[in-house]
Amino acid sequence: GQQLNQSPQSMFIQEGEDVSMNCTSSSIFNTWLWYKQDPGEGPVLLIALYKAGELTSNGRLTAQFGITRKDSFLNISASIPSDVGIYFCAGTDSNYQLIWGAGTKLIIKP
Binding site residues, other proteins, CB under 8 A: 30-31, 33, 35, 40-45, 48, 88, 92, 96-98, 100-103
Query: How are strands ordered across the β-sheet holding 71-76?
Result: 4-7, 19-25, 71-76, 61-65, 55-58
Q: How far is the CB of 35 from other proteins (least distance, A)?
A: 8
**Residues pairing with 86 in the sheet:** 37, 105
Nearer to other proteins, 39 or 59 (CB): 39
Q: How far is the CB of 57 from other proteins (least distance, A)?
A: 17
Nearer to other proteins, 77 or 84 (CB): 84
Q: What is d(CA 17, CA 109) in angstroms, rounded to the nearest whole number?
A: 11
Could you tell me which residues come within 8 angstroms of residue 1 by beta carbon, excluding any fewer than 6 positions away?
Answer: none
Tell me the three state secondary structure of residue 6. strand
Nearer to other proteins, 18 or 27 (CB): 27
Nearer to other proteins, 14 or 95 (CB): 95
Q: How far is the CB of 51 from other proteins (least distance, A)?
A: 13
